[in-house]
Amino acid sequence: MSKQVRTRFAPSPTGHLHIGNARTAIMNWIFARHAQGQFILRIEDTDRERSTEASEKAILEDLRWLGLDWDEGPDRSGDFGPYYQSERIQLYQNVLAELIRKGRAYPCYCTPEELEAHRKSRLKDGLPPGYSGACRELSVSDQKQFENEGKIPSFRFRVEKDDASFDDLIKGPIQFETDVLGDFILARPDGMPMYNFACVVDDHSMEISHVIRGDDHVSNTPRQVVLYRALGWDLPAFAHIPMILGDDRQRLSKRHGATSVTQYRENGYLPEALLNFLSLLSWSSESGEEILSSEQLIKEFDFARVGRASSIFDVEKLNWMNGVYIRNLDLAVLSERMRPFMAHKGYPDLPEEALQTIISLLHEKADTLAEMAEKAGIFFREPVPENDEARAVLAEEASKAVFRAFLDETGAMTSWSGDAFLAVMKQIQSKTGVKGKQLWMPVRVALTGQCHGPELPGVVDFMGLKKCRENIEKAL
């Protein structure tokens, strides 16, 4: 086994990148970079029916969007390829043959129906649903008879009095009794390897030093450990990170909202913020800081600071963190990231200066880019009152007095700015006696259709005098 730290992320291209899997990828990447090691991307595509090229492309795109880079992978050659499991079948077959020679693997001709009946019988008797061992001691002649009948076997691992214990970098020493494992399947009748078998062969042959994954894999680890030991291979270090739960403390799912990286991307979250947020689920900085750059995360990472308790996916905290990142971005960078969201809303393609002006008015109170694009509608849509409260404001007699005074005060004006607007509002207050909320709210509703929003001087400066007067006239 290589002494260099080598971690891996091995997604199955059967759908979008789940937020939990993204957190796993982030932890592997951060630790590899912290240890000045290598991060490997491997595609586990042996599920022929569900694996798609589109899913693979989307997963890689999401990983790149998060800012993760890999040293070896399907699009970056290395000394340990190929990096698709579907292209490593011969390697699995070679290792399977070795296990057969050692007497640690054997063919199983049991049908799915027979296995299911046995499973139900054991559960009915209150026993764990392990394999019955029906094919464990078949003679050569028995095997030939099954094959003459056209039966194609799967292959099972022969579990003996093996040592399935291991030390976990997060959970500490873990003991498992092998008699509860049962003889598990290594390869299906079509020759495709099962997850635990392929995972062990790949991790060993790629010299993976640390296997970092969610603790839903803890139950898989004993099977992998006995395989390592049966093959005479050194164990990698295992680290099982706590699961991510929803606010109801149930496993994160669609009922909790967005669950894929693609959804958060489309909803206007920044990759830096999402990476920061996910890295802090179960891990914390010794400094106590929560806004941490990827460089800080890499520098400070330590398995000793990874907790054992499940993490709660706090959307409000993510929104807060994303808002902080939005406000910390340079306006030119934020403008570039906003353009796709503005285009999606159907807004015109604005010159850079105009777009930055809009962003400067909106970004202080926005949590996502999508929210900011929605709020930008006040500069492009007719100011239709958004609710009953807004309609009621326009109907008040005091509001009409303010509108008439606004039109009177601005009728002869030729120049316009935020400061000029403030001077006009001061004159209106003096002229009508209306002040406070009754003075400002109707003007805001008349100009934007909303009761709340960005600072009015900036809004009117962007709109221009002509548009402001038109909107006030319509409201009146």
- 57-60 long-range CB contacts below 8 Å, 24 or more apart? 58/16, 58/17, 58/262, 59/11, 59/13, 59/16, 59/17
The pLDDT > 90 percentage for the chain reads: 83
Q: 188-244 pLDDT, tens per residue?
A: 999 999 999 999 999 999 999 999 999 999 999 999 999 999 999 999 999 999 999
Rounded Cα distance between 112 and 380, Å, is 62
Q: Are 239 and 308 in contact (CB under 8 A)?
A: no
User: What are the beta bridge partners of residue 73?
Assistant: 76
Task: Give the mean pLDDT of the chain.
Answer: 93
Q: 338-391 pLDDT, tens per residue?
A: 999 999 999 999 999 999 999 999 999 999 999 999 999 999 999 888 899 989
Q: 150-199 pLDDT, tens per residue?
A: 999 999 999 998 889 999 999 999 998 887 788 999 999 999 999 999 99
Write down the pLDDT at residue 277: 97
Rounded Cα distance between 253 and 157, Å, is 34
Write down the pLDDT at residue 126: 78
Write down the pLDDT at residue 261: 95
Catalytic pick from 120, 171, 254, 345? 254
Calculate mean pLDDT across residues 115-124. 84
- Per-residue confidence band for 125, with pLDDT thresholds at 50, 70 and 90: confident
Residue 126 gets the label, from left (phi > 0), alpha (psi -120 to 50) or beta, of: left
- For the chain, give the number of residues: 476
Q: Are 223 and 196 in contact (CB under 8 A)?
A: yes
Q: Which has the closest alpha carbon to 217: 236, 232, 233?
A: 236
Rounded Cα distance between 437 and 393, Å, is 10
Residue 413 phi, psi dihedral angles, 5° rounding: -75, 145
Rounded Cα distance between 392 and 247, Å, is 38
**Residue 254 designated active-site:** yes
Q: 50-103 pLDDT, tens per residue?
A: 899 999 999 999 999 999 999 999 998 889 999 999 999 999 999 999 999 999
Give the torsion sign (CA, 415, 416, 422, 424): positive
Q: Are 219 and 184 in contact (CB under 8 A)?
A: no
Q: 316-325 pLDDT, tens per residue?
A: 999 999 999 9
Calculate mean pLDDT across residues 316-339. 97
- Per-residue three-class SS string for the chain: CCCCCEEEECCCCCCCCEHHHHHHHHHHHHHHHHCCCEEEECECCCCCCCCCHHHHHHHHHHHHHCCCCCCEECCECCCCCCCEHHHCHHHHHHHHHHHHHCCCEEEECCCHHHHHHHHHHHHHCCCCCCCCCCCCCCCHHHHHHHHHCCCCCEEEECCCCCCCCEEECCCEEECCCHHHCCCCEEECCCCCECHHHHHHHHHHHCCCCEEEEEHHHCCCHHHHHHHHHHCCCCCCEEEEECCEECCCCCECCHHHCCCEHHHHHHCCCCHHHHHHHHHCCCECCCCCCCCCCHHHHHHHCCHHHECCCCEECCHHHHHHHHHHHHHHCCHHHHHHHHHHHHHHCCCCCCCHHHHHHHHHHHHHHCCCHHHHHHHHHHHCCCCCCCCHHHHHHHHCHHHHHHHHHHHHHHCCCCCCCHHHHHHHHHHHHHHHCCCCHHHHHHHHHHHHCCCCCCCHHHHHHHHCHHHHHHHHHHHC
- Domains, the chain, ordered by start: 254-327 (1.10.1160.10), 331-377 (1.10.8.70), 382-476 (1.10.10.350)
Write down the pLDDT at residue 124: 82
Q: 27-36 pLDDT, tens per residue?
A: 999 999 999 9
Question: What global pTM score does this model have?
Answer: 0.91
Residue 411 has pLDDT above 70, yes or no: yes
Residue 275 has pLDDT above 90, yes or no: yes
Residue 164 is which amino acid? A
Write down the pLDDT at residue 1: 43
Residue 295 gets the label, from left (phi > 0), alpha (psi -120 to 50) or beta, of: alpha
Q: Are 42 and 291 in contact (CB under 8 A)?
A: no
Calculate mean pLDDT across residues 112-118. 86
